[in-house]
Structure 1
Amino acid sequence: MTALRAEIDALDRQLIALLARRHALIDRAGRIKAAENLPARIGWRVEQVVANARHNAAAAGLEPDLIETIWRQLVEAAIAQEDRQLKGRQDDRHAD
């Protein structure tokens, strides 16, 4: 059991590293959206990301409903991250 727990812990570290990479990509998306005057929430893209996650989950033998729940939380966190970034850009423009 000790070896299995160590393997799970190592995998968790890898997942966190991947989430950190995703976070950095969301920052990039926020900068692009600010430059192009786009909103943080783009409804069709949210649904596309969730549908992709469901499809990938099913292909990997995972429960699509569970993955959808997790991904919707992940996407909402990303939208909030972009909103903060977009709000910061607006505040910077008003400071001039």
Structure 2
Amino acid sequence: MNSKFQKNKCESLDQAREQIDALDQALIELIAIRQFYVDQAVRFKRSEHEVQSPERVTHVIEKVRAKATELGCDPDMIEQIYRQMIQHFIQRELKEIRP
């Protein structure tokens, strides 16, 4: 796994919470970066179909479910999170391309 975060056994509840807080911070930073690139991508899209791109959504969902399974994470939970995030970004993009 290419990450600065590693799974280490915690010796206390406070230690576990510290790690969770650090992960929450990193997740938010990564989502913000993803949003930046979604905002970049919309410049190259010309239609609502290109924004909604059901084929791309299917491809992304398949990839994240496979990665979740590989890492021992619940793929249904990951799919739900991604579908919500993707829907948010689609709505954000649609505001950009609609007059």
Q: Smaller-chain TM-score range? A: 0.7 to 0.9
1:8-47 matched pairs, under 5 angstroms: 8-33=20-45, 37-39=46-48, 40-47=51-58
Please tell me whether the aligned partners of residues 26 and 81 of structure 1 are also in contact (alpha carbons under 8 angstroms).
no
Q: Please provide the CA RMSD for this pair.
A: 1.0
Aligned length: 85
Query: 2:28, 2:37 → 1: CA distance?
Result: 14
The structure with the greater share of residues assigned to helix is 1
Structure 1 counterpart of 2:14, which letter?
T
Using the aligned pairs only, state the percent identity: 35
SS at match of 2:52: coil
Measure how far apart 1:38 and its partner are: 3.2
Q: Which residue of 1 aligns with 2:9?
A: none
Query: 1:47, 1:62 → 2: CA distance?
Result: 19
Greater relative CO (CA pairs within 8 A, separation 6+): 1
SS at match of 2:67: helix
Structure 1: which 5+ residue stretches go unaligned? Answer: 91-96
Structure 2: which 5+ residue stretches go unaligned? Answer: 1-12
Q: Which residue of 2 aligns with 1:85?
A: 96
Q: What CA deviation, in whole Å up to 9, does each residue of 1:19-56 have, x standing for no partner?
A: 000000010011111xxx23210110010011111011
Q: TM-score normalised to the size of structure 1?
A: 0.83
Q: Which residue of 1 aligns with 2:85?
A: 74
Query: 1:41, 1:82 → 2: CA distance?
Result: 9
Structure 2 counterpart of 1:22, which letter?
R
Structure 2 counterpart of 1:24, which letter?
F
